[in-house]
Structures are given as structure tokens and as C-alpha cells.
């Protein structure tokens, strides 16, 4: 068998191995030698062998055959062997190994050894790898050692107690009295151990926390001693006296002072003293200051102290050391919601940190900047954020984009600015925005009718430059389809116009349709846009027809369906085409929350047939452009075809199927719809969704007075609670809502809810009312809005 | 709470590793590789604190030797940063020069020292005759 080599030799041999394979070979040889050595019962070099084995273990190779050797060596009377044995036990054994139980007895004996170093070895090992049973067995021993007179042992025992408390929470009770008495020690090591132990005990159980609150004055005293004391060579680190102990005590004070007025008051002076006296030129001082700031912000401190803390953080932000800037921003993040104004003062520095080279700092700066955006600084902040977006690392893009959208939505100073910002984001980071951005943007655009011309020109230009960003392309296609006539008119006040011919526009849309970069969704947008243009342009209708018919045989089912239906629109229902493809009505903001996504008309079809049937019974002519469901448009356009009767019901549903998908393009519109006046009954159903029905009836009381009765019922299986109605009327009409009869609707129409609304219309304006319904059903809150434009009986 | 301490050289080879929470042997290699890769790939201008999964890594470079400490979220990073400095100064004083290769030679003693230091976070009086 090969002679055993000393540790250094082996390490040298391993290091000189060039390849992994060579290294493994060396290690295997050594392990074989070690195993052979272990089998020999009495061997002088046992400690060396075990040391080698530990090194091998550290490199990651299996060393479990050394476990029994560890156990044997721990039991040996020689100190050198004991020591390596314990080291091996700490590294090789953990509670999952059975061998760990074998050393319990050795540890127990060694804990009562006369030599303090042996005791410390045992304590160390127990603190490292003590299992729950071992801890339970030996806890009384540890408690006894906590009271010994030897500070070296006390320190180690305190740390062992920490481990025991972590492993077996119940044993914490055992250590409470000893921990308390340890606080009066002078030795910093013991003090440190005691503070750690108390911290651990307080974190685990609130009752212990209560008991230790009484120690706050003692802790304050100790801290004061540390801060004011002169230079002590034993504990000095770069000018600060035992910063580690200071940090620990501050942390314990934080835990004790949280949510407790009395304790917090006791600490106020101390914290102010530490904050002002600590030298902040070195990192150690900053570490202590940081802990102080965290403590101040967490306890119930007075406002002056909080301002001091935020100022310290502000100073950190200006520090050259990147680490300190990073933690300053992390802390500011936590308090930005509570101390908003204080953090606002440092906004400039935070925005500068956006340009830092470090990714962690950038991430923090981004989060903070987004939290600091407010109505007053939106323009300048947005400029900075947009610059950041163009140069930011890819993992932060999505977060930045969505943050910018939220901020823009909340604080946009003008619509044009808002649209510009969104377009800017789409062009820079279009690939990383969320899906609901597209319908949100479209809704925004339809709402700003004065900027349609400007928007469509900008989007057209953007489309020409780049068709890879899908959300941008989708929005652009939609706008071109809707406002193509404005584009072709060629003039625009807000921006310089491009002379665009119909062919150019169709070319652009065709490129999108055929590009391999376009997703099926985008293609759908483009196809519908092309179709809409057929009513907006005059010359190239044939070209459009040919494009549409080509896609009638497309592999993608969605596109094919659309193309076939559009073809049908050209052929059989050409007379309806103009009406169907008219401008989309302004979309209500609320309804978007109920959509199933951009392109879902199919679900709308399912939920609407009931309503369609109702509408067929009476088809009032609907002028286009009103805020109504598109189905009403169709209901109106069918009037010349059939008289309003239930016979027409079935045929018209068939008809509605085709034009619905053609016209009801992207967005599911209002949940509510026009009341259709039914001649016999004066009540009208204004809202019917998810089983909740709201009917309206009105009575003319006097020349200008009107009483409207709203009745609500619930036909679902679950109860509805918190049912409220709110109403809004035109300006000149006065409205008074009486109290409702009840505010909950039992299931299956158990009871109805009525609410009276008294209106006074002195100027005899055209009466319209907007009603908002909100209720809680099965734990979720539902809100809906409906507009009533014509009242029955008027 | 300190979860682990690693000392690695420039090539990523572990010179010392100490775990204060039970981690399986197979997982250790993976953990070390990832943690070390995070720290070694960072430039000079970058922060010494890295967020990794649910804990933070605090690292410091001393010539060819990196000391990486993994801590839980609630720990004061700056104080751990200083602790690493303290640790290296202690080694310096004891072994008169800390170099990557010397770390290997004193490997056995290192374990003892790190036990004392990282468990108790205290500098004074650890220097009992080893």
C-alpha cells in the first residue's frame, strides 16, 4: 500500500493535476490509501489522514467512509485527535447520518471536561450539527455552562444555545433567565453571544419579547458605552468601537421597539446620538449608520428622528461607494410609501442612478423612480424614463414599460402627450409590453377624437419604418382601418402630413399580412383593417376584394373565417357593408375590464342571443355613432328587411352571426345596451348580465318632474350582497335618489330590490341617464355601467 | 443569518467552504458553481451585493482570492462586508500573508478560525493557541 503523504503534498498533487480526470485519479488513490489506514486500529497518523479526507470532502468528493473514524477520534483522549475528529464531525456528519447519534455521549462527556478547549470543541460541534434529539438531551448542560465563570466558555455556550433554540423552539424557555443575566457581562464576546441569543428568543415567541422589553434600558446603556468610549485596541475596527456588537444591539432594539411606544421612546435619544456621532467616512461607520436608520424607520420614532434617518439615506445616495448607494436605495424603497415627501427631495439623485453601470443599482433606481412619479414631475420624469428604456438591460424592459404605462395613465398632462409616450414606448420596447396594452391604447385613441388625424399619421409612419414590434403594428393597422380616410385626405394640423395614396396604404397592410414576422393576431388586425378600408376609399375596392378572397383559403382558421365572412359581406350583403363597417363607437373604459381579450366576438355571440331576441321585437332606428352595442346597429339596419316581430327573431340571429364577426371587430363592447321600448309594459330591462337583471319604469308626475323606479333581481345560484346603484344625468336635470329597499339580492330571485329616483327636467332636454351597478357576488366585486337613452312612457 | 462562506480563486475552484445550514453534498457543488459564477462575472464597477434566489451574496475580492458569504435577506449587508474584511485581516495577522495558495496550506486551521469567527462574529480573543 502506498505510503501516506502529508496533507501539503496531497494538495500540491491535486493542484498540479491538469484535467478533471487526472484530479479524480489522484483523489481516488489517496482515498484508497486513507481507507486502508483507517482499517488499521492503531495509527499515529490518524489525524493527518482525516485532515486529508476533509480536504477531499471539501472539493466535493464522497467521504462518508470517514464518519466512523471521526467518531472514534472524538472518543480518543489525545487533544490533537479530538480536535480533528470534531472538525470532521462538523463537516461530514449532519443530522441525517446515523453516526451522529453516536457522538452524543462523547459530547456530553466532553462538556464536563476540565480543559476549557475541549469543552469549547464540544460546544462548537453541537452548535454546528446538533440534531433535535441531541439538543434536547444536552440543553440542561448548556444552560449550566451559560452560568459558568469562564467567559470563553460562556461565549461558546451562548452560541450553542442559539442553535438549540433554532432547532427546538420549545427549549427557548429554558434559556431566558440565563440570557437575561448575561447582559451584565463586560466581555464583548459574551455580550455579543447574549444579544444574538435574546434576538433569537424574541423573534420566536411574542411572550418572550414582552419579557425582554424590560431590558431596553440596559441595552441602551451598553450602546451608549460603546459609542462614547474612547479608543480600545481590543475592539476597534477603523475607528468604531466593536461595530459588530453595535449592529447587533441596534437590531435587537429594533425588534423590541417595534409597535411599542414606551420602548421606542426610551431609544430615541440613543438613536439620535448614534446617528450624529458615528464617523461616516469609513464603511464600518456607514454600516452602523445603516442599521440605525433601519431601526429608526421601523419603530415608532418621532418625526424629527425620521427626518434625520432619511437625510442619512440621502447622504448615502451621494456617496461614491456603489455599495452604499445600493443599500440607500433599497431602504428608500421601503419607506417611499410612508414618507413620500422626504424621499421626493432626493429624486434628482435617484434619477441619476438610472444611468449607473451596475444592474442592481439600475433596478433599484427604476423601482424608486416609478414610485416617485407624481403629477407635478411627470414630464421630466418621463423624459428620463424613456431615455432609460432605450438603453436599459433586457431583463428590466418589461418592468420599465409597464411602469411607464401606469404612470402615464395616472398623470398624463394631455392626451397628445399620453399617446406620444405610448407610441414612443411601443417603438423602443414593443416586444416587451403586456398584451392588454393594445386594447388600452386603442380605447385611448378612440376617446381622443380630435387627435385621430395626428395619431393615424404617426402610426402610419411608424408602420413604414418597422413592422417587427407586434403591439405597435396591431395598433397601427387598427387605426389605419378606422381612420384611413383621414390619412388619405393628406392634411393634418398637428403634424406634417405625408401624401399617401390608396395604393400606398394597401401596400403597407399587405406587407404586414404577408410578413413572416407577423403573428396570427396581427394578421387578423391587418385583414380587418383592409376590409374596413373598402368603405373609406373609392378606387381600389377590387384590390381589397381580391386580397380578402385570397385569405379565404388560408390555413389559419381564424383568418379563413374572417376572409370568408368578409367575402360574404361583399357578395350577398353588399348593401349592408357601409353600415357594418362604419366608425367604431367610443368605447367605455369600464367595459374593457370585462373583455376576454381583443378578438373575442364568439363569447359575445353566446351571451347576446338573448338580448338580440329582445331587440328584434322592437327595432327603433338607431343613428350611428351613438354609444350602443354594435348589435343594435345591426338591429337597426335590419329594420327595412323585416317588421319587428318574433318571427324575425330566428332569422335575424342568423344574420347577426355573420355581420357580428365582421363588424364587431376587436373589442367586446358595453355589457349594457339600449332599452328597447316594449309597447305593452312600461318597464324596460336596462341591464341583464350574469343573471342580474335591472328594469326601469317611469312615471310622469308633473310638467317637468319624473319618477323612475329601478328594480333589480338575481337569478343566479348565489346570493349577491352590497348591491348599489348610482345614477348620472345631463347637467340641467336634477336628480334625487331615494334609499333602496334593500342592499342584497338572494339567489334564484328570492326578493327584488327597488330604488326610486326622482328627476326634475325643467329645460325639457333630451333625457339620458347613466346608471352604474356594483355588487359583490361569490366574493368578487362586479361593476358595470349602462346608459339609458330613451325612457318608456315618455 | 449567515448561510455559507466560500473562498474561491480566480478560476472558480473552491479553496474553503463552510456551510452553516445543512446542504446536501450534491447540491453544494451546484450552489457553489452558481454563486461563484455570479460573483466572478461582475466587473469592478459593480456592487458587492448580489441578490440570488431568496438570499443575498456579499463578496469581496482580494487579489486572486474571492470571499463569498451567503446571507439571509434580513442581514445588514454592510456589516457582513466589514466582517469579511475582519476575517481576512485576522488571517493576515496570524499567517502573515494571505494568498490563495497559502489558504490551502492552512486549510485545517482555517476551518477552526472560521468556526470561531463566523459563529460569534467577534474578533477579540479568538487567538487562543491553536
CA distance B44 to chain A (A): 10
pLDDT tens-digit series, residues A438-461: 788 888 888 877 778 888 888 888
Is the Cβ pair B28, A327 closer than 8 Å?
A: no
What Å distances lie between residue A536 and A19, A528, A533, A624, CA to CA?
A: 73, 13, 5, 16
User: What's residue B108's pLDDT?
Assistant: 56
What CATH number is given for A683-788 in this structure? 2.60.40.1230
CA distance A51 to chain B (A): 7
**For residue B12, what are the domain limits?**
2-127
Residue A592 in this model has a pLDDT that exceeds 70: no
Residue of B26, B82, B83, B114 to mutate for A, most A C-beta atoms under 10 A? B82
Mean pLDDT score of chain B: 73
Residue A431 in this model has a pLDDT that exceeds 80: no
Residue A120 in this model has a pLDDT that exceeds 70: yes
Mean pLDDT of A304-328: 86
CA geometry: angle at A75 spanning A72 and A79, to 5°? Answer: 110
CA distance B78 to chain A (A): 5
- Which residue would you say has higher pLDDT here, A553 or A596? A553
Residue of B17, B36, B52, B76 to mutate for A, most A C-beta atoms under 10 A? B76
pLDDT band at A168 (very low <50, low <70, confident <90, very high): confident
Residue of A247, A295, A359 to mutate for B, most B C-beta atoms under 10 A? A247
For residue B58, report the phi and psi dihedrals to the nearest 5 degrees. Answer: -115, 125
Residue of A9, A155, A203 to mutate for B, most B C-beta atoms under 10 A? A155
Collect all residues of chain B within an 8 Å Cβ-Cβ radius of residue A245: 122
Collect all residues of chain A within an 8 Å Cβ-Cβ radius of residue B81: 283, 287, 323
Give A754's DSSP letter: E
Residue A124 in this model has a pLDDT that exceeds 60: yes
Residue A551 in this model has a pLDDT that exceeds 50: yes
User: What's residue B25's pLDDT?
Assistant: 75
Picking from A8, A294, A323, the nearest residue to B48 by CB comes out as A323
CA distance A385 to chain B (A): 22
Query: Which residues in B have their CB inside 8 Å of a CB on A?
Result: 14, 16-17, 20, 22, 25, 28-29, 43, 45-51, 76-79, 81-83, 86, 104-105, 107-108, 111-112, 115-116, 119-125, 128
User: What's residue A661's pLDDT?
Assistant: 41
Residue of A nearest to B86 (CA): A237
3-state secondary structure labels for all residues of B24-65: CHHHHHHHHHHHHHHHHCCCCCCCCEEEECCEEEEEEEECCE
Collect all residues of chain A within an 8 Å Cβ-Cβ radius of residue B111: 54, 87, 90-91
pLDDT band at A595 (very low <50, low <70, confident <90, very high): very low
Under 8 Å CB-to-CB from A220, ≥6 apart: which residues?
A253, A266, A267, A270
Residue in the block written with cell 381600389: A540
pLDDT band at A495 (very low <50, low <70, confident <90, very high): low
Q: What is the CA radius of gyration of chain A?
A: 39
Collect all residues of chain A within an 8 Å Cβ-Cβ radius of residue B47: 322-323, 326, 358, 360-361
User: What's residue A642's pLDDT?
Assistant: 34
Mean pLDDT of B4-29: 80
Collect all residues of chain B within an 8 Å Cβ-Cβ radius of residue A127: 119
Is the Cβ pair B108, A294 closer than 8 Å?
A: no
Collect all residues of chain B within an 8 Å Cβ-Cβ radius of residue A188: 122, 124
Picking from A290, A358, A360, the nearest residue to B78 by CB comes out as A290
Residue A669 in this model has a pLDDT that exceeds 50: no
CATH value at residue B75: 3.30.450.60
Mean pLDDT of A766-792: 81
Residue A664 in this model has a pLDDT that exceeds 60: no
Is the Cβ pair B25, A60 closer than 8 Å?
A: yes
Under 8 Å CB-to-CB from A371, ≥6 apart: which residues?
A333, A336, A337
Mean pLDDT of A73-91: 85
CA distance B24 to chain A (A): 10
User: What's residue A640's pLDDT?
Assistant: 37
User: What's residue B96's pLDDT?
Assistant: 67
Q: Which of A285-299, A445-459, A653-667, B46-60 has the lowest mean pLDDT?
A: A653-667
Collect all residues of chain B within an 8 Å Cβ-Cβ radius of residue A8: 105
CA distance B35 to chain A (A): 15
User: What's residue A630's pLDDT?
Assistant: 41
Mean pLDDT score of chain A: 77
pLDDT band at A793 (very low <50, low <70, confident <90, very high): low
Residue A247 CB: number of other CB atoms within 10 A?
Answer: 26
Picking from A83, A152, A192, the nearest residue to B121 by CB comes out as A192
Collect all residues of chain B within an 8 Å Cβ-Cβ radius of residue A159: 119-120
Region class of A584: left (phi > 0), else alpha (psi between -120 and 50), else beta: beta
- Domain locations in chain A? 435-581, 683-788
pLDDT band at A629 (very low <50, low <70, confident <90, very high): very low
Q: Could you give the strand order of the β-sheet that contains B49-52, starting from the edge strand earlier in sequence?
A: B14-19, B2-9, B65-71, B55-62, B49-52
> How many domains, in total, are found in chain B?
1
Mean pLDDT of A345-366: 82
Query: ipTM beyond 0.90?
Result: no
Q: How many residues does chain B have?
A: 130
Q: Which of A196-210, A468-482, B89-103 has the lowest mean pLDDT?
A: B89-103
Q: Which of A41-50, A326-335, A506-515 has the lowest mean pLDDT?
A: A41-50
**DSSP SS3 for A786:** strand
User: What's residue B103's pLDDT?
Assistant: 56
Is the Cβ pair A237, B16 closer than 8 Å?
A: no
Is the Cβ pair A54, B49 closer than 8 Å?
A: no
Residue in the block written with cell 423573534: A203
Collect all residues of chain B within an 8 Å Cβ-Cβ radius of residue A324: 78
CA distance B124 to chain A (A): 6
User: What's residue A131's pLDDT?
Assistant: 84
Picking from B17, B45, B104, the nearest residue to A358 by CB comes out as B45
User: What's residue B109's pLDDT?
Assistant: 59
Q: How far is Cα B50 from Cα B58, in angstroms, rounded to an integer?
A: 7
Q: Chains A, B: CB contacts under 8 A, how many?
A: 123
Collect all residues of chain A within an 8 Å Cβ-Cβ radius of residue B119: 124, 127, 159
User: What's residue A668's pLDDT?
Assistant: 38
Is the Cβ pair B47, A358 closer than 8 Å?
A: yes
- Which residue would you say has higher pLDDT here, A630 or A508? A508
Picking from B22, B107, B120, the nearest residue to A192 by CB comes out as B120
User: What's residue A536's pLDDT?
Assistant: 79
Q: How far is Cα A524 from Cα A478, in angstroms, rounded to an integer?
A: 10
Residue in the block written with cell 355613432: A625
Is the Cβ pair B78, A192 closer than 8 Å?
A: no
Q: How far is Cα A237 from Cα A246, in angstroms, rounded to an integer?
A: 12
Amino acid at each position: 500500500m502506498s505510503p501516506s503523504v502529508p496533507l501539503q503534498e496531497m494538495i500540491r498533487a491535486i493542484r498540479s493535476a491538469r484535467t478533471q480526470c487526472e484530479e479524480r485519479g489522484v483523489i481516488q488513490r489517496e482515498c484508497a490509501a486513507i481507507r486502508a489506514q483507517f482499517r488499521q486500529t492503531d495509527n499515529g497518523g490518524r489525524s493527518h489522514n482525516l485532515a486529508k479526507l476533509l480536504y477531499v470532502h471539501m472539493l466535493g468528493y464522497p467521504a462518508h467512509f470517514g464518519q466512523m473514524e471521526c467518531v472514534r477520534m472524538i472518543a480518543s483522549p489525545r487533544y490533537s485527535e479530538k480536535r480533528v475528529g470534531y472538525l470532521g464531525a462538523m463537516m461530514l456528519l449532519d443530522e441525517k447520518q446515523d453516526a451522529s447519534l453516536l457522538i452524543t455521549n462523547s459530547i456530553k462527556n466532553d462538556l464536563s471536561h476540565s480543559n476549557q478547549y475541549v469543552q469549547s470543541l464540544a460546544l462548537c460541534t453541537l452548535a454546528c450539527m446538533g440534531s433535535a434529539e441531541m439538543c434536547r438531551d444536552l440543553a440542561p448542560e448548556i444552560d449550566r455552562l451559560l452560568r459558568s465563570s469562564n467567559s470563553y466558555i460562556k461565549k461558546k455556550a451562548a452560541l450553542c444555545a442559539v442553535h438549540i433554540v433554532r432547532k427546538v423552539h420549545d427549549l427557548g424557555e429554558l434559556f431566558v433567565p440565563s440570557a437575561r443575566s448575561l447582559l451584565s457581562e463586560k466581555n464583548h464576546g459574551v455580550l455579543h453571544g447574549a444579544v444574538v441569543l435574546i434576538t433569537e428568543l424574541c423573534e420566536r415567541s411574542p411572550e418572550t419579547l414582552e419579557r425582554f422589553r424590560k431590558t431596553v434600558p440596559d441595552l441602551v446603556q451598553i450602546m451608549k458605552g460603546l459609542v462614547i468610549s474612547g479608543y480600545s485596541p481590543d475592539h476597534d475596527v477603523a475607528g468604531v468601537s466593536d461595530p459588530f456588537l453595535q449592529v447587533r444591539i441596534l437590531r435587537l432594539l429594533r425588534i423590541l421597539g417595534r409597535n411599542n411606544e414606551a420602548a421606542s421612546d426610551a431609544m430615541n435619544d440613543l438613536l439620535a446620538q448614534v446617528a450624529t456621532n458615528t464617523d461616516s467616512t469609513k464603511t464600518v461607520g456607514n454600516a452602523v449608520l445603516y442599521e440605525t436608520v433601519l431601526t429608526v424607520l421601523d419603530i415608532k420614532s418621532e418625526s424629527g428622528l425620521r427626518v434625520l434617518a432619511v437625510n442619512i439615506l440621502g447622504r448615502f445616495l451621494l456617496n461614491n461607494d456603489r455599495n452604499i448607494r445600493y443599500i440607500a436605495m433599497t431602504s428608500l424603497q421601503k419607506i417611499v410609501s410612508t414618507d413620500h415627501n422626504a424621499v421626493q427631495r432626493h429624486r434628482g439623485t435617484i434619477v441619476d442612478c438610472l444611468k449607473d453601470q451596475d444592474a442592481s443599482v439600475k433596478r433599484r433606481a427604476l423601482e424608486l423612480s416609478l414610485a416617485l412619479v407624481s403629477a407635478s414631475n411627470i414630464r421630466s420624469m418621463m423624459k428620463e424614463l424613456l431615455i432609460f428604456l432605450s438603453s436599459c438591460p433586457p431583463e428590466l424592459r418589461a418592468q420599465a414599460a409597464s411602469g411607464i404605462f401606469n404612470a402615464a395613465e395616472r398623470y398624463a398632462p394631455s392626451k397628445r402627450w399620453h399617446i406620444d409616450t405610448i407610441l414612443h414606448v411601443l417603438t423602443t420596447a414593443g416586444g416587451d409590453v403586456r398584451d392588454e396594452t393594445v386594447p388600452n391604447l386603442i380605447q385611448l385613441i378612440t376617446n381622443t377624437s380630435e387627435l385621430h388625424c395626428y395619431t393615424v399619421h404617426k402610426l402610419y409612419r411608424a408602420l413604414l419604418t418597422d413592422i417587427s414590434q407586434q403591439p405597435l403594428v396591431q395598433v397601427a393597422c387598427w387605426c389605419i382601418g378606422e381612420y384611413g380616410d383621414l390619412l388619405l385626405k393628406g392634411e393634418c394640423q398637428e403634424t406634417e402630413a405625408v401624401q399617401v395614396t390608396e395604393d400606398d396604404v394597401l401596400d403597407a397592410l399587405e406587407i404586414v399580412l404577408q410578413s413572416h414576422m407577423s403573428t396570427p393576431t396581427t394578421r387578423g388586425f391587418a385583414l380587418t383593417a383592409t376590409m374596413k378600408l373598402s368603405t373609406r376609399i373609392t378606387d381600389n375596392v377590387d384590390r381589397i376584394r381580391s386580397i380578402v378572397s385570397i385569405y379565404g383559403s388560408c390555413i389559419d382558421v381564424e383568418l379563413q373565417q374572417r376572409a370568408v365572412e368578409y367575402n360574404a359581406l361583399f357578395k350577398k350583403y353588399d348593401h349592408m357593408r357601409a353600415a357594418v363597417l362604419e366608425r367604431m363607437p367610443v368605447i367605455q373604459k369600464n367595459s374593457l375590464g370585462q373583455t376576454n381579450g381583443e378578438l373575442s366576438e364568439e363569447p359575445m355571440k353566446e351571451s347576446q342571443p338573448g338580448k338580440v331576441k329582445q331587440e328584434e321585437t322592437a327595432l327603433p332606428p338607431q343613428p350611428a355613432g351613438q354609444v350602443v352595442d354594435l348589435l343594435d346597429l345591426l338591429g337597426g339596419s335590419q329594420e327595412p328587411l323585416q317588421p319587428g316581430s318574433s318571427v324575425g327573431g330566428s332569422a335575424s340571429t342568423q344574420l347577426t352571426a355573420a355581420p357580428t364577426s365582421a363588424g364587431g371587430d376587436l373589442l367586446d363592447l358595453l355589457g349594457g345596451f339600449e332599452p328597447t321600448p316594449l309597447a305593452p309594459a312600461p318597464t324596460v330591462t336596462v341591464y341583464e348580465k350574469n343573471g342580474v337583471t335591472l328594469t326601469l319604469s317611469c312615471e310622469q308626475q308633473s310638467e317637468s318632474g319624473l319618477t323612475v323606479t329601478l328594480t333589480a333581481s338575481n337569478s343566479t345560484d348565489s346570493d349577491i350582497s352590497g348591491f348599489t346603484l348610482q345614477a348620472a344625468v345631463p347637467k340641467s336635470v336634477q336628480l334625487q335618489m331615494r334609499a333602496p329597499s334593500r342592499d342584497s339580492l338572494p339567489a334564484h330571485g328570492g326578493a327584488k330590490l327597488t330604488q326610486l329616483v326622482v328627476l326634475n327636467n325643467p329645460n325639457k332636454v333630451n333625457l339620458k341617464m347613466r346608471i352604474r351597478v356594483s355588487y359583490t357576488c361569490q366574493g368578487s366585486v362586479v361593476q358595470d355601467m349602462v346608459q339609458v337613452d330613451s325612457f318608456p312612457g315618455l | 443569518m449567515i448561510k455559507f462562506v466560500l473562498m474561491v480563486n480566480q478560476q472558480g475552484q473552491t479553496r474553503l467552504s463552510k456551510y452553516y445550514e445543512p446542504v446536501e453534498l450534491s447540491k453544494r457543488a451546484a450552489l457553489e458553481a452558481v454563486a461563484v459564477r455570479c460573483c466572478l462575472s461582475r466587473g469592478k464597477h459593480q456592487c458587492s451585493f448580489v441578490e440570488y434566489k431568496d438570499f443575498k451574496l456579499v463578496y469581496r475580492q482580494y487579489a486572486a482570492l474571492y470571499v463569498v458569504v451567503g446571507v439571509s435577506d434580513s442581514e445588514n449587508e454592510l456589516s457582513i462586508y466589514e466582517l469579511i474584511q475582519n476575517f481576512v485581516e485576522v488571517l493576515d495577522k496570524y499567517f502573515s500573508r494571505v494568498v490563495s495558495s497559502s489558504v490551502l496550506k492552512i486549510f485545517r486551521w482555517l476551518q477552526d478560525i472560521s468556526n470561531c469567527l463566523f459563529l460569534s462574529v467577534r474578533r477579540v480573543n479568538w487567538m487562543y493557541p491553536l
